[in-house]
Copies of this chain bind each other. A is one copy, B any other.
């Protein structure tokens, strides 16, 4: 018997109460009992997004809602910017390309955050740019982009909107959509929402909806207007994953009970402890700029393949963390402290990390990482 732990940046563990709710018999998506569930979910999504907008719900992974943010907001040949500082920034760029959008990448070295000035300069240089696509937390690098500052730049421009992929950020850090004036916020079910993958969300403000009115790109399943109209009648446009919506009701209730402020604080504490522990072990954090509170990305020690760390930690200790992707494959590892995570998940993963690093021949005093984590979590 090997006890399993899921500490990768999505999918994340599902709280037991939500798993139990989702194991109940399926209800019909046009039945009155579903209406009650959907109404509560719609209300509480507004709380989560800190918005008055109707939050759109799609049965797909997050990428589906990202695609919808291109096909519903732009027209062929429209100009756009995609901040490309990791795998998911590349995805924005690729989706734009797939739809013949005239997209320009702002390339940011992996591990770095984009500077708001780079975006301001690009917009000044080409005022015809209609959309800026960015991640809040770039999951592939563990970097947090300065979304608030970028929103301030974009919202001054009448003909440009900001679309934020907050898939590993919403419900982790404070991103008050309405207060900051972010035009579109996207997220998915399998990160801070603590559900299996399979639901994607998009919240559009009035400015963004005015872009939808002008868009001529083809769309069908991810049709934002159609889903909004249906939701306003308390239905979904196409058969939704009722099981996940039932789970979502439970999750949103739990988030509301904990309170967003506490949720953010919990993530900040776990992130801080993980970073401290990793650094105490003499390892270097991968992000050069502000790290995301969703996950900690760190360089493997010199001479040790990061792939060996993730493999050993899984096989020997039952813990799933993530390795690096593409350019940093084998070089970094990523530990998530995201969603249904608490203090002892940090203690557990640092304990396993110490054991694995020892086995791989890395030299340090046993317990150094644990001590740092313990101090960060509970004080001296």
Contacts and interface: CB of A to CB of B under 8 A. Distances in A.
B11 A28 contact: yes
Interface in A56-115: 58-64, 67, 70-71, 94-95, 98-100
22 contacts: A6-B27, A12-B26, A22-B22, A22-B23, A22-B243, A23-B23, A26-B190, A31-B320, A59-B59, A59-B64, A61-B221, A63-B221, A67-B220, A70-B220, A94-B220, A98-B219, A98-B220, A190-B239, A197-B242, A197-B243, A198-B198, A218-B218
A241 B198 contact: yes
A13 interface: yes
A359 to B, nearest CB: 19
Given A60-B60, A314-B31, A4 B25 contact: yes
Interface in A182-222: 188, 190, 196-198, 217-222
Interface in A227-285: 238-244
The complex is assembled from copies of this chain, and their number is 2
A72 to B, nearest CB: 12
A14 to B, nearest CB: 5
A28 B29 CA distance: 28
Give the size range of A's interface with the partner: 35 or more
Contacts of A13: 25-26
B26 A196 contact: yes
A320 B28 contact: yes
Nearest to A7: B28
A20 interface: yes
A10 interface: yes
A328 interface: no
Greatest chain B CB density within 10 A among A58, A61, A222 is at A61
Contacts of A58: 60
Contacts of A95: 220
Contacts of A217: 218
B242 A196 contact: yes
A98 B217 CA distance: 9
Interface string A117-146: 000000000000000000000000000000
A162 interface: no
Contacts of A238: 61, 63-64
A243 B98 contact: no
Given A67-B220, A94-B220, A198 B25 contact: no
A19 interface: yes
